[in-house]
Structure 1
């Protein structure tokens, strides 16, 4: 449509007319700096987000000692240290309850005005913001802006003065969006001082940002960043913040004891920056809390299923507590398994769990969890294929409907429910029509399945998983095309790489795909990024695939 500048004008002349059209690439001019900040936030990573509605919390009256110790440190700090040490590390093995403690601590601090900000990383979130570092500082700054009006104004001014800040590295973002505004607020002596906690959980699950094409076989392929690099960058940024005299908050970092964290928080490397670490497994005896957890939930199950007061049998809880070896994930998994509504009553399920536990003769604290995982997975109708589904879902991270469409060998067979119906205690399974994702309740399930020494005969090589994904991809495409020779078990002979690529892409792009076109496109993008990366170029996959068929 043409633009009219002088509608209905008559009989006039214009000598020299200059128009200057300007645009601002930063949306902060249109929506304001804080709206621009809000668009860069990983909302699901905040402690009370909707995405974390099912996140683990401490059972009432459990983990009281550890929560009290952390709360006391937030309020009082290390009175004997000068300058104050404003950063500490909360650690423990997978399943020891770190995320539950951090979540419960955040809920305890918030009503008292002692919660500055939170960020809960997780590697299986559908939101990339919770898996990577990009939105880390902006999410912290966004919460601080909501903390107090004067801090909100200072952060807004910082963004307005430097609108390109969102494209800078984490150190620059922390200085501009957090530290500089805090210094500005600290100079205003008429306001009470800020205090409280910034709680960061699951940093060990942060994935590395990749700034180059990692699927290429060229020079850039050598520049693949490791997860530990970005995790270390986050730790360094937090240490720099905690060392700033104007930074008023206590920082709590919770993670598993991976090497990058052990080295970073090692007192021999830097004794002046950190308060004493807190190890949930070594510093606290969780047995009493786990015992209470079992007692409360067994009472609920007994009432729900109208079981006699004598259930569970004498010694059962004591045995389960011993089996847990301080791992709350074991206790939570047992309760989910007993209360998932299987055809077998809880009494029978409990007997199976106790019987499985008697086979263990090891000091490994995760051995009982491994036995439990093995028992539950092997209770399904087809354990190997169930594991294939679980590992494929981990790689693809698709919605429920797209996953079913892609992974079911026979469309309409409801294979997902058939394979995973007995695994609700391990896998979060949304409704078929749901747009949310399948997901494990705890990352320790993937750790278990990826370690052949732990999962034994359930172990699958990555090449097997990738071959399965490719196989299902062809099957899914072929099932939606009325004609064509593409099928899932035998590639055309001779098998041409060019034919395979052109055929697969053609199926996706064509109008002949009756359903799931968007899902197929998403799957294809993920295959290029994940499957080709782990099982090599298509030539290698075809060799592996055909070799497997002959075997």
Structure 2
């Protein structure tokens, strides 16, 4: 599968969808590098189009988090090194974490990052397998003494890559950090480890879950693996020689609410940050829309009176604090669309008027998604393709070309380009997907589109039953 872990090394997928490595490198750090999820690192090529905060937006949020990384909460005896950043889909968590990672990297305060993504074709970004190894590999790049300590740990413990996350964290991260702290005479390590989208981590399966009967092994749940990562990070943060602060961003799913409940565990975590409660996004969304509509005006030589008065305020209200609503609208103007900008804006303002959206904060976003998807020449078929792209992990190499060849009815046609012609605001579509030299992947701009299509109450006639989805 393309970009699953590190493309420099060969592996295959067995019949249980597990990774089996072939011809691994001989040197210790090479073996470690072969097991990382390179696409999960904040500045990876896979994240080249990842969302970032628009200049002058989310300033207060970023400053809040950055100050905590640098100064903490003023605690002295037992610092609380973990903070949870949460909020519903579309509130800009990944954009904040991406921009914060860049800021920390620029100022020498970035320890490591891991950006999970359930839509990614990379197995490593969807599962826990490469989590600790990716963190350790990044830490090894900081200083020669830490690099040497991690290399030695790999050499002395050749089986560590097959151990559970707790043992990997102890051998590959905590033990080398203790060694460096004891022996180093240089400046101490400090900074942050950022983990984004942990709620998108999918469960590993260690047994054949297709078996039935009383002795069948139950499938692991996503929540179980997400909890395991949380516990590993908590254990690391409590080690007195662990120098980093840990930021974890996720939706407010039950496993996270319970884990970070201050009444259950008030000694390990600092105050949570809920983007939907503590930081009103309306002002930032307004700035974002004003800046981009100004660019649209210049592009088309529109008068300064466009958009009409009150338009941006209406769009901000429709967004209901969801940055993804505003970002999708702007991508509509920036990508191929049949309607001219003024007609498109009028359609956006009017869409959803007949739907019951007043009490549903996602109502306007749903109406926007329906409008875009229905602009496809064949909306039901486009949706089935989207489901297959999302579950493209069943292919040995889930490039856009391979998925297109699997789904299109005429190998000589440009069916994908025709079907997705008006959907570029929802999906990043590689150019010339009919060209077998194109090794790029389809990518979704936001997970909320997939959530929308999985809910029949939200997507209505666009819902596709599991049995009818292309595969």
Give the TM-score normalised by the residue count of structure 1. 0.78
What secondary structure sits across from 1:118 in the alignment? strand
Q: Which residue of 2 aligns with 1:390?
A: 386
Find 1:445's aligned residue among 428, 449, 453: 449
Find 1:212's aligned residue among 198, 207, 210: 207
Q: How far apart are residue 402 of structure 1 and its match?
A: 1.6
Larger radius of gyration: 1
Q: Which residue of 2 aligns with 1:148?
A: 143
Structure 1 position 198 matched with structure 2 position 193: yes
Find 1:460's aligned residue among 429, 443, 464: 464
Q: How far apart are residue 221 of structure 1 and its match?
A: 4.8
Distance 1:281 1:406 in 2: 41
1:346-367 deviation digits (Å, cap 9, x = unpaired): 1111110001143454222211
Q: Which residue of 1 aligns with 2:115?
A: 120
CA 164–342 in structure 1, closer or farther in 2 if over 3 Å, else same: same
Distance 1:128 1:171 in 2: 20
CA 191–304 in structure 1, closer or farther in 2 if over 3 Å, else same: same
CA 167–332 in structure 1, closer or farther in 2 if over 3 Å, else same: same
Equivalent positions of 1:318-357 (< 5 A) are 318-357=313-352
Equivalent positions of 1:157-196 (< 5 A) are 157-188=152-183, 190-196=185-191
What secondary structure sits across from 2:159 in the alignment? helix
Structure 1 position 102 matched with structure 2 position 97: yes
- Give ranges in structure 2 of 5+ residues lacking alignment: 1-20
Equivalent positions of 1:394-409 (< 5 A) are 394-397=390-393, 398-409=398-409
Distance 2:23 2:217 in 1: 36
1:102-130 deviation digits (Å, cap 9, x = unpaired): 00001001121110000001011111111
Q: Which residue of 1 aligns with 2:363?
A: 367
What secondary structure sits across from 2:194 in the alignment? strand
Equivalent positions of 1:262-281 (< 5 A) are 262-281=257-276
Q: State whether residues 333 and 341 of structure 2, in contact with CA within 8 Å, keep that contact through their aligned partners in structure 1.
A: yes
Q: State whether residues 357 and 364 of structure 2, in contact with CA within 8 Å, keep that contact through their aligned partners in structure 1.
A: no
> Which is worse superposed, 174-183 or 390-399?
390-399
What secondary structure sits across from 1:223 in the alignment? coil
Find 2:308's aligned residue among 307, 313, 327: 313
Structure 1 position 237 matched with structure 2 position 241: no
Distance 2:128 2:278 in 1: 30
Q: Which residue of 2 aligns with 1:253?
A: 248
Q: Which residue of 1 aligns with 2:425?
A: 425
The higher relative CO (CA closer than 8 Å, separation ≥ 6) is in 2
Q: State whether residues 453 and 459 of structure 2, in contact with CA within 8 Å, keep that contact through their aligned partners in structure 1.
A: yes
Structure 1 position 380 matched with structure 2 position 371: no
Give the TM-score normalised by the residue count of structure 2. 0.91
Greater per-residue helix proportion: 1
Distance 1:43 1:220 in 2: 38
Q: C-alpha root-mean-square deviation of aligned residues, in Å?
A: 1.7
Q: How far apart are residue 410 of structure 1 and its match?
A: 3.0
Distance 2:214 2:409 in 1: 39
